[in-house]
Structure 1
């Protein structure tokens, strides 16, 4: 039956092809039990169904339509979705505002309370899920169009939409049009990811989305296009204009239809007929001058407000937005009712119902409250506030002129009759908008579209041009460029990043392009093992290392075209003295070497130590990343951790063992395990408590509460006194847990690190989890991960005191001959010292069709006896196609309490051969699991380790 249907409707017969990006095989779900295929989960099936149907449908469209036809179709979709989201933001914010007004009508104290709670919720939502949605969002869109790596996707759109509704609904004085620009651009960027296109095509789609967002926000389709051309993209190519115009038109139509305005493109403002005489030109010039001066000061105030928040209120984003909401609510309590709503205030001013003191109060209050809100980082724009401020300023000029000319001492020749106050109000809107955004053309058109009166064009041109000229003298450049510069992003006059593409590539170094995870081979690995490795890998060559240094390169050609016996070490076959590059070498030098020697990969070394590798694919990937910014997020850089509390004990000079403590429940067990190892090796014990702060706050300047950390570290000091250990303690403030641990390891020269582990990773692209993966790659010391089991204590779920005896008696240690397994074996005598009646089981797992190497088990047994272990030691040889399954069955059947494993190296090669065995065992085991990794060669080297557990003939001989 499927042969009668289009290809994109054949999903029921081949569902598995949608579970991986390349549609070649189902991707495993880390949360599924072993052996259960992912399509048994209904939610996974639904996600795969939608993703596959959408992608297949869009790919078929690409086959049927040409590039321009597809661009126009995408523009229609972008305009439709942008219009819907603009209406959703408007209606959502209005609903919350209506509820807020109802509550305030009963008691004005609700205004600051709602502002406080709503601001905190909006800030938390932004910081937690999409930090790049802070502020209006237009600087982020401008950076993305300048090919700066900034995240624009569906996540950004959803968070921006929700946070903007909370901000506006809670009474914070900002606009919704700026956020609609970012939402439209983010939705367009997400659509361009679903239909992979060139970077230039993606850039044009983002511009169309931004235009549609602004057009839908203001119901001004022409202004949306002009804003993109004048401020964001600065491109007037046919495709850009066509897509932007179509998306803007559809976005405005959808917004008007759903906004109950029909398709009649008349003014949404209740204006009278605009009239202007020649005698009134000086007043228009005066209005332009005032708008330019105050608009320039307003732009500088936005930057000053941001600085003051960072200097005097260095809180996290939720706290800053909550303060802005609280103060805005307090100000609203003191203001008259007509000054509490932006849209109502604008209409009230245009209708000419205000008095001079109310109008001045409106301008001053809005000026201060907008600066208060923008500095906090709240999600909201400057467009609507700028229009309201301009309207207030225009009406103030009208009232001041009428009062001045009514004075008895004014000569009759000087008297100017103001024909229409609405002319000054609307001109003030355009002039102040032009002064703030530095977009005079957009300002003229946006007010013209809102008023639908051609007679207003001349006053708008006079006021906007004068205001723009003066504002440029006071605050040079676009406010959005200044905000980007405050965040560390600099654009040139053309709206691109400084320098040409060639100049950017010349600044890249090997350290920025290389892969840190390197698949290597030891020079003692045999030819037979190397052949099996090449057969199971997609790599065509591997660096050969000896004692952490690169000694050669082994390629498929070397392995395939040789007549040596399988037992020959690859050191006799490799190409010695390979071409390498240093970390600081430029990309131009890398490209020269690749072309000069006609090779496809170059090892990157620090001295002679291997720290990475560069392939031609890495260079292409770096280029795509530079052009599209697909994998980068704009945000604060992680800063070094900062010590806020520490105690020091006598230094013994033999070594240090670090144990990070976070959970008071698991801390006693971790401390006893760490103390056992430290006492056996005569090490000092270094205990660490970590306090995390949001990325936007410097660790060295953020006030924190250390009482919980001190209470936790006191347990370690008590244990040290009881076991006669030298115990040091410290508490660190950091953005990232792994960063704090690495800083401690480097500063305190740690030899062993023992830390708790949940036993699984919730992220599909992580093996042990984000923190653990970073430490396994970079920590320059021995590393022990401890996943505590369900049967750790006989007392049940209630954990006893620090000095209670642990019920860890039966120890299972799988062996495979690798260095990590050997390290686990060496650590075993100190660990079993905490058992009351210890028993040890050494096991080895081999494939069903191979004979076990009994020498590994016998050597392990002899080693333990030489170390003085007197407890019973059993040996077991197991045959099973799955190493993890065999070990789990043995641990369950023999009622083992602890499984001690050597860490499987993280490289893709070994995962392809046997999967990550320790992670699989820890995930499904009810026992306590200890995973041991030997000392890393050097931080970030990516050099691989021998596997701790695995098949005896899988290439672990090295």
Structure 2
């Protein structure tokens, strides 16, 4: 017979554990709602700023040389404000912030949510609104993670709750950036697997957070797929070998992207010692002038993706567009302003995929019904090669385009791209960025 006190103690422990787990799920719901509200407001605000920028650029094209002053002045002001806010108040808000989240989960980076939340939100509106080639997913992921830390601190939870609550916020942030809740869940499980602590309730919490955030954003913004395009049928079974070749191409592009991005960050470190206004004038003038001549060369890339998929460009211009956007994406991220690399990277994947698809269609017209199929595969392939997260790349491409019939070719592309880029010695970009951040922190006096 079990003594009463032993049985009673087990019952109390079980009750305490259940209470703790249900509190975690409640916090996850609260985080998801807050992240959805923040992300929805961020997306709405950014759309107004981008519309204003586009109107300035259109006036510059149709007007005289004096009308060029306004878009150039707008870009200079926006970039200067973003740099000032980040350098003065929250240096950890620069870039995408994903590496900062991974560092916080490992306990090697601070998470100062009282500074980061307002600075990341405001500075990102200026940096993305300026026309730099940056994505909104970086700001929403870091905002989400910091909101998770805010909930933990506000309710006085122990430091053990840091991991699931921060991870829930990160998943909610990615979900709300692209209307892609499943990608948000997979991203935390796959990309942050070395930092995320798995158990049933921690996985349930990121599912609740991602789902509730996506629900709020769909109410505030829109419920359509982020990229509007035709839904393709399954490709010819005998054309699947072409997706292996595309995966190999993506693996090489991913290796180049990661290597050059780090080289670019190291090269542009000298700009941190320059007056902010000098950097703003130099960078803002370049971005604005390029944008006046060709708006497709700047910005995150949604409009560019639409035009590429509509066959608005010649093959030669697509090569030029890919090259210029690749170089400008390095340039934009290396400045130290807030912004993500997902969207510019996905845009490059679409351009590469269409280039590949058009070329293969000319060689094998009977195998390929539409080159746009390879655009979606290119998105997933470049993401997989760069981030080394093939599941996230696959799910993100499908959720952003609603092309669920392409799961098999996307599996082939993402696996090929991620495996071969690993064999080439390519490291996951956020792991490299975190090591670089920690090394720079140690070197500072």
What is the TM-score with the length of structure 2 in the denominator? 0.88
Aligned residue for 1:118?
Answer: 78
Distance 2:160 2:149 in 1: 12
- Contact 1:440–1:468 under 8 Å retained in 2: yes
| 1:273 paired to 2:232 | yes
- Contact 1:137–1:182 under 8 Å retained in 2: yes
Distance 1:116 1:439 in 2: 35
Give structure 2 stretches of 5+ with no counterpart: 1-15, 62-67
- Compare the two structures and name the one with the higher strand fraction: 1
2:44 to 68, 91, 101: 91
- Contact 1:321–1:376 under 8 Å retained in 2: no
Aligned residue for 1:477?
Answer: 427
1:81 to 34, 39, 54: 34
Q: CA deviation at 1:456?
A: 0.9
Aligned residue for 2:245?
Answer: 286
Please list, as runs of the form range in 1=range in 2, the aligned pairs for 1:403-414 lying within 5 A after superposition. Answer: 403=362, 405=363
- Contact 1:289–1:470 under 8 Å retained in 2: yes
Distance 2:207 2:277 in 1: 37
Aligned residue for 1:545?
Answer: none
Do the aligned partners of residues 389 and 287 (structure 1) sit closer, same or farther apart at CA in structure 2, a change above 3 Å counting? same
Q: CA deviation at 1:446?
A: 1.0
- Contact 2:258–2:426 under 8 Å retained in 1: no
Aligned residue for 1:702?
Answer: none
Aligned residue for 2:57?
Answer: 104
Distance 2:214 2:100 in 1: 23
Do the aligned partners of residues 114 and 266 (structure 1) sit closer, same or farther apart at CA in structure 2, a change above 3 Å counting? closer
Q: Which moved more, 1:306-315 or 1:355-364?
A: 306-315
1:199 to 159, 162, 182: 159
Q: CA deviation at 1:330?
A: 2.5
- Contact 1:349–1:425 under 8 Å retained in 2: no
Q: CA deviation at 1:128?
A: 1.4
Please list, as runs of the form range in 1=range in 2, the aligned pairs for 1:267-666 lying within 5 A after superposition. Answer: 268-311=227-270, 314-315=273-274, 319-320=278-279, 323-335=282-294, 337-341=295-299, 342-403=301-362, 405=363, 416-474=366-424, 476-488=426-438, 639=445
RCO higher in structure (CA 8 A, sep ≥6): 2
- Compare the two structures and name the one with the higher helix fraction: 2
Aligned residue for 1:240?
Answer: 202
Please list, as runs of the form range in 1=range in 2, the aligned pairs for 1:65-80 lying within 5 A after superposition. Answer: 66-80=19-33
Aligned residue for 1:820?
Answer: none
Q: CA deviation at 1:66?
A: 1.6
Distance 1:101 1:154 in 2: 33
Distance 1:316 1:466 in 2: 45
Secondary structure of 2:213's match?
helix
Do the aligned partners of residues 236 and 317 (structure 1) sit closer, same or farther apart at CA in structure 2, a change above 3 Å counting? farther
Aligned residue for 1:150?
Answer: 110
Q: CA deviation at 1:420?
A: 2.3
Q: CA deviation at 1:324?
A: 3.3
Q: CA deviation at 1:325?
A: 3.2
Q: CA deviation at 1:253?
A: 0.8
- Contact 1:271–1:350 under 8 Å retained in 2: no
Distance 1:135 1:269 in 2: 27
Deviations 1:912-955 (A, max 9, x none): xxxxxxxxxxxxxxxxxxxxxxxxxxxxxxxxxxxxxxxxxxxx
Q: CA deviation at 1:194?
A: 1.1
What is the TM-score with the length of structure 1 in the denominator? 0.42
Q: CA deviation at 1:247?
A: 0.3
Q: CA deviation at 1:312?
A: 7.3
Distance 2:274 2:118 in 1: 25
Secondary structure of 2:167's match?
helix
1:179 to 139, 159, 163: 139
Aligned residue for 2:4?
Answer: none
Give structure 1 stretches of 5+ with no counterpart: 1-62, 406-413, 490-633, 640-958
Distance 2:249 2:280 in 1: 31
Aligned residue for 1:254?
Answer: 216
Q: CA deviation at 1:468?
A: 1.2
Secondary structure of 2:208's match?
helix
- Contact 2:33–2:213 under 8 Å retained in 1: yes
Q: CA deviation at 1:333?
A: 2.7
Aligned residue for 1:219?
Answer: 179
Do the aligned partners of residues 183 and 134 (structure 1) sit closer, same or farther apart at CA in structure 2, a change above 3 Å counting? same
Deviations 1:86-115 (A, max 9, x none): 122212222111111112222252333322
Do the aligned partners of residues 242 and 317 (structure 1) sit closer, same or farther apart at CA in structure 2, a change above 3 Å counting? farther
Secondary structure of 2:95's match?
coil
Q: RMSD of aligned C-alpha atoms?
A: 2.3
Deviations 1:793-851 (A, max 9, x none): xxxxxxxxxxxxxxxxxxxxxxxxxxxxxxxxxxxxxxxxxxxxxxxxxxxxxxxxxxx
Please list, as runs of the form range in 1=range in 2, the aligned pairs for 1:862-881 lying within 5 A after superposition. Answer: none
Between Structure 1 and Structure 2, how many residues are aligned? 419
Deviations 1:883-925 (A, max 9, x none): xxxxxxxxxxxxxxxxxxxxxxxxxxxxxxxxxxxxxxxxxxx
Q: CA deviation at 1:273?
A: 2.2
Q: Which runs of 4+ in 1 moved over 6 A?
A: none
Do the aligned partners of residues 424 and 76 (structure 1) sit closer, same or farther apart at CA in structure 2, a change above 3 Å counting? same
Do the aligned partners of residues 637 and 158 (structure 1) sit closer, same or farther apart at CA in structure 2, a change above 3 Å counting? farther
- Contact 1:82–1:251 under 8 Å retained in 2: yes
- Contact 2:105–2:196 under 8 Å retained in 1: no
Aligned residue for 1:228?
Answer: 188
- Contact 2:251–2:385 under 8 Å retained in 1: yes
Distance 1:248 1:362 in 2: 34
Higher alpha-carbon Rg: 1
Secondary structure of 1:275's match?
coil
Distance 1:457 1:329 in 2: 39
Distance 1:638 1:349 in 2: 44
Do the aligned partners of residues 346 and 266 (structure 1) sit closer, same or farther apart at CA in structure 2, a change above 3 Å counting? closer
